[in-house]
Structure 1
């Protein structure tokens, strides 16, 4: 189902990585996806429209027409929401297996990273293309935040801490004032 596996938000990247563990294919047509989402939202069209950042009239038009172009924002929002909600038990089982086996995941990304040192100096954000292995406790923190509905800002802060620990100060503990900040994400992909 996913047309692309990389994302530009941490939440979407985690959801797309989870989709590799599915045991069944989610609904494929726009109409079937919408029906699935409406069942999940207890047939509350207004709540679903709010979640998808669309109007209830847009959802009614999609239900009637059945298809919209793949580059349409509503099509992409419906796809993201189905990916976010599909097979939660399978997702949880995959997370538990990863954490039981050392809690390690790979991360590939291209983003603008900034680093603030203990002395207060700051490294201006630079575009970096990296592939890293995130080790415990960061995968567990990301999974917990994803499950509890953390905001993208919170997820980026956790990922920034993980990147700092795994890339900037590998063999030494971080100073409390050292902070890695993801300014802008071009693409992000998790592998587990």
Structure 2
């Protein structure tokens, strides 16, 4: 995933009502319950089926760091799907999404204005329709560039054009993302 995809994943995790399991054994048991077989979990994590069985029984408690990171990422990706959907539905229909980013913003505007890209730190709340478009695009398998385009359009309309009250012919280029955080 890219920066926006990761930002959406972190925003999802902020909606959790309970913490994911902490021990390796509990995490792997959760994955086995989700995927139904130890073989499927082994393929997902890139380890042997026997290793997964050892994690489940508690014979092996400390996997190598890369395996621990994969286990953690997969558990978080699958944890509380109903809570995630509820939070996304709320953002897409009522509350919207807040974007905090430090990135390069360039412009295509009226003659006499500078269109050189420069780094800006922007925190802006976007309406629910932009959140819905962002979620729909992510589910449809949009590329990182397409997700950036949706965020750029939202920032262009809400932040730079002030909902159409100024800068009518302005087009914003959103590049060089240093960081981006999303919240809903």
Q: TM-score, normalised by structure 1?
A: 0.69
Larger radius of gyration: 2
In structure 2, what is the equivalent of residue 76 of structure 1?
69
Q: 1:89 to 1:113 in 2, by over 3 A?
A: same
Distance 1:57 1:152, change over 3 A: farther
Structure 2: gaps spanning 5 or more residues: none
The match for 1:187 is 179
Q: Secondary structure at the match of 1:170?
A: coil
Gaps (5+ residues) in structure 1?
Answer: 1-7, 50-54
> Structure 1 residues 30, 149: CA separation in 2 closer, same or farther (over 3 Å shift)?
farther
Matched, 1:113 2:109: no
- Cα RMSD (Å): 3.4
Structure 1 residue aligned with 2:29: 35
Matched residue, 1:67:
62
What is the alpha-carbon distance in structure 2 between the residues aligned to residue 125 and residue 132 of structure 1? 19
Pair 1:26–1:115, CA change in 2 (3 A): same
- Please list, as runs of the form range in 1=range in 2, the aligned pairs for 1:129-148 lying within 5 A after superposition: 129-148=121-140
Q: CA deviation at 1:34?
A: 3.1
Alpha carbons of 1:157 and 1:37: their partners in 2 closer, same or farther (altered >3 Å)?
Answer: farther
Q: In the alignment, what sits opposite 1:92?
A: 85
Q: Which structure dedicates a bigger proportion of its chain to helix?
A: 2
Give the C-alpha shift of residue 152 in structure 1: 2.9
| Contact 2:106-2:172 within 8 A present in 1 as well | yes
Give the whole-Å Cα distance in 2 for the aligned partners of 1:59 and 1:157: 45
Q: Matches of 1:132 and 1:118 in 2, distance apart?
A: 21
Of 12, 29, 46 in structure 1, the residue corresponding to residue 6 of structure 2 is 12
- What SS is found at the alignment partner of 1:56? coil
Aligned with residue 47 of structure 2, among 56, 64, 73: 56
Q: TM-score, normalized by length of structure 2?
A: 0.71
